[in-house]
Amino acid sequence: MSNDYYETLEINRDATDADIKKAYRRLALKFHPSSNRNPGSSEKFVQLGEAYDVLSDPRKKATYDKFGEEGLKGGIPPEFGSGGAWSSKYAYHGKPDKTFRQFFGGDNPFADFYTNDAPMQLGGLQPGVVKTQDSPIERDLHLSLDDLFHGCTKKIKISRRVMNEDGNTSSIRDKILTIAVKPGWKEGTRIIFSKEGDQGPNSIPADIVFIVQQKSHPMFVRQQNDLIYKVKISLEMALTGFSVDVQTLDGRLLRIPINDVVHPTYKKMLTGEGMPLSQDPSQRGDLIITFDIQFPEKLSAESKQLIKQALAFKN
């Protein structure tokens, strides 16, 4: 069953940021496990924490308003992300007490009941709060093969909660993160921005981690540091020879003569014409050309006879 965050907080969809805060304050105090022992109050408290976590964050709220819970938690297409550079999958951390502490800060009416990320039981009170770091926030960074060949710079705008000077209240602010993409980076490369997540009075901001996802290329398939280029040829070309023209990623035109008889598993390798190595961009992988031989669907009797004569071997 999907969640309606607005219904959870008992507000309309056009509610302002102040309305969202007011609703969460009222309901969180009402259903907090330390003051409400009724059945279902703990579950309601968790739902309130998740609803506020989403609706208080402009980016999460905008995604939820446009794509619903499925888009928020399942991830949206990269073209809808900021600058088309990334998309993210939201998952609530499942710690409503943390959300509660971050909201109330120094005015937390139940502050004495907490240590780490769990409420203290009566009889086990401890003063102060031990800060723990939130889980990393992972986002996809979609890059073209050309980006990964040449290297480039990507600027990603994020919105995060920042503590104000009073140390108790917070506000949402935008920040630009700059990623210097190095030639030769592979899919799965992780770029970590330490402690750039939401700030809170009792927690250490999460790391933001961008994970490289390579877009498909119309000509080349990448295998580690090698580039695979597939060519369709006729049976005649396979038997008699031909030339292959390849437009490289750095703008050169390679004309490669093929004088061998090309069989279905034949490959032509050009050393040093592949992707640059990320550790040493002056070194490169290989360009491997494979061939898709197009056989004729039908042959006349006369054609078959001519082929037999042409291919006849003398002892």
Residues 126 and 3 in one domain: yes
Beta bridge partners of 178: 155
Query: What pTM was estimated for this model as a whole?
Result: 0.57
Domain annotation covers residue 187: no
pLDDT for 1: 54
pLDDT per position in the chain (315 positions), as tens?
Answer: 578 999 999 999 999 998 999 999 899 888 888 777 788 888 999 999 999 999 998 888 888 888 888 888 877 655 555 543 335 678 888 888 888 888 876 445 554 444 344 443 333 333 445 677 878 888 999 999 999 999 999 999 988 888 887 767 778 888 899 999 999 999 999 999 998 888 877 778 889 999 999 999 999 999 999 999 999 998 889 888 899 999 999 999 999 999 999 998 999 999 999 999 998 999 999 999 999 998 888 888 888 888 887 777 654
Distance CA 103, CA 53 (A): 10
Asked if the structure places residue 34 within a domain, the reply is yes
Same-domain status, 2 and 127: yes
| Any domain includes 100 | yes
Query: How many Cβ atoms are within 10 Å of 164's Cβ, its own excluded?
Result: 11
Q: Is residue 297 part of a domain?
A: yes
Query: According to the model, what pLDDT value does residue 200 have?
Result: 78
- Domain end call among 118, 133, 148: 133
Q: In terms of residue numbers, what domain contains 274?
A: 220-311
pLDDT tens column, 223-266: 999 999 999 998 889 888 899 999 999 999 999 999 999 998 99
Do residues 181 and 191 lie in contact, with contact meaning Cβ atoms separated by under 8 Å?
no
Examine the domain organization and report whether 225 and 129 are in the same domain. Answer: no
Domain count, the chain: 2
Within a domain: residue 228?
yes
Query: What pLDDT sits at residue 94?
Result: 85
3-class DSSP state for residue 240? helix
Cβ-count burial of 260 within 10 angstroms (0-12 exposed, 13-18 middle, 19+ buried)? exposed
- In the chain, where do the E strands start and end? 114-115, 118-119, 132-133, 137-143, 152-163, 170-181, 190-193, 203-204, 208-214, 220-223, 226-234, 242-247, 253-258, 267-270, 287-294
Cα(35)–Cα(235) distance, integer angstroms: 81
Considering 133, 160, 180, which residue would you say is the last residue of a domain?
Answer: 133
Whether 13 and 113 map to the same domain: the answer is yes
* Domain match, 107 and 228 both: no
Structure tokens at 111: 């502050």
pLDDT at 87: 54
Query: Are 128 and 14 contained in the same domain?
Result: yes
Q: CATH number of the domain at 305, please.
A: 2.60.260.20
User: What's the CA gap between 273 and 267, in Å, rounded?
Assistant: 15
Considering the domain architecture, whether residues 121 and 17 belong to the same structural domain is answered as yes
Distance CA 315, CA 310 (A): 15
Residue 127: CB atoms within 10 Å: 7
Q: Is 224 left (phi over 0), alpha (psi -120 to 50) or beta?
A: left
pLDDT score, position 123 = 34
What is the full DSSP assignment across 158-170? EEEEEE-TTSS-E
Considering the domain boundaries, does residue 78 fall inside one?
A: no
Token pair listed for 276: 């640059």
Q: Indicate the residue among 81, 110, 133 that finishes a domain.
A: 133
Asked if 111 and 235 sit in the same domain, the reply is no
Q: Tell me if 157 is assigned to some domain.
A: no
Candidates 220, 198, 216; CA nearest to 207 is: 198
Provide the CATH number for the domain around residue 127.
1.10.287.110
Q: Which residues contact 239 (CB under 8 A, 6 or more apart)?
A: 261, 262
Do 23 and 127 lie in one domain? The reply is yes
CA distance 138 to 208: 6
Whether residue 66 is contained in a domain is answered as no
| DSSP code string of 93-133 | -S-HHHHHHHHHGGG-TTGGGEETTEEPPTT---SS---EE
